[in-house]
Amino acid sequence: MSKDAPLYAQVERSLVARLGVSLHPGDRLPTEDELIAEFGVSRITVRRAIQNLAARDLVVTRRGRGTFVTSPSFRQPLTALTGFVEDMDAHGLPARARVVSIDEVVAPPEARTALELPLGAMATRIQRVRLAVGRPVSFDDTYLPVDLGRRVAQDDLENEQIFTLLESRHGTPLVEAAYALRASTADAVLADALEVAEGSAIFRVERTSYTLGQRPVDYEVLHYRGDAITFTTRLPRARTPGRGQ
């Protein structure tokens, strides 16, 4: 192991790297004795690493049975425009995408309105399942103006996020986004993609991202597993004339 972090943090980081690769939700972690032998560290170090994983809701310890990997669940603050990979990086978790489809379609009304396209205009549609620690967390339905979408469609969308591609490769800086959030339920397609039962609760997020000059360039409908995410924010109290202090 490297010497750039405390031993417990190195053990913790190594175990996180296995999530979704060799360790999946429901799997039991190696025992304390096995981890001590593998990493050459003390029992206190191993226990500290496991306690940190439990505090991050990545594992749960069941007395007399062992420590088990949990399904991912995250608290996501709505304080800045970020992409899925950036969100997972903030949690110190591996993330990737599985591309379901990429095609050019006549922009549906909601995408046409969001992207300010003329009636009958084409758009590039990209559908992906987003995975954290190997588990489906969201199903993303993305629409891009076709001139931009054709370029993005040539990129490695399983390992690179669209926000980063737009900004670093395609000269399209993102400055802000409009969000709309509501509760919904999974139809057959979403249920299959997210590995939940049909009719399960999901969080539906519509997001339109803008580049310079308030030009909309990315319209997405994000469908999160209802048990996978909690959105948080902090809002100031609006001051109105005549209200007591």
pLDDT at residue 94, rounded to an integer: 78
Residue where the block lists tokens 């986004």: 177
SS3 state of residue 154: coil
Q: Which domains does the chain show, CATH number per domain?
A: 7-69 (1.10.10.10), 76-232 (3.40.1410.10)
What are the residues facing 128 on neighbouring strands? 99, 140
Residue where the block lists tokens 């990545």: 58
Instruction: Write out pLDDT tens, residues 53-63.
Output: 998 888 999 98
Tokens describing residue 137: 């967390």
Pairing of strands 176-185, 95-106: unpaired
What are the residues facing 232 on neighbouring strands? 77
Q: What is d(CA 49, CA 56) in angstroms, rounded to the nearest whole number?
A: 11
Residue where the block lists tokens 């580049």: 211
Contact 133, 73 (CB under 8 A): no
pLDDT at residue 239, rounded to an integer: 80
SS3 state of residue 36: helix
Instruction: Write out pLDDT tens, residues 93-110.
Output: 778 899 999 999 999 999
User: pTM score > 0.85 for this model?
Assistant: no
Q: What is d(CA 125, CA 144) in angstroms, rounded to the nearest whole number?
A: 7
What are the residues facing 135 on neighbouring strands? 132
Contact 150, 137 (CB under 8 A): no
pLDDT at residue 244, rounded to an integer: 56
For the purposes of burial, counting CB atoms within 10 Å of the CB of 192, is it exposed (0-12), middle (13-18) or buried (19 or more)? middle
Contact 111, 57 (CB under 8 A): no
Contact 208, 222 (CB under 8 A): no
User: What does the pLDDT profile of the chain (245 residues) look like in tens digits?
Assistant: 556 789 999 999 899 888 878 888 889 999 999 999 999 999 999 999 999 999 888 899 998 899 999 887 888 888 889 988 888 888 877 788 999 999 999 999 999 999 999 999 999 999 999 998 888 999 999 999 999 999 999 999 998 999 999 999 999 999 999 999 999 999 999 999 999 999 999 999 999 999 999 999 999 999 999 988 888 998 899 887 766 55
Tokens describing residue 204: 């539906």
Tokens describing residue 146: 């076709």
* Residue type for position 197: A
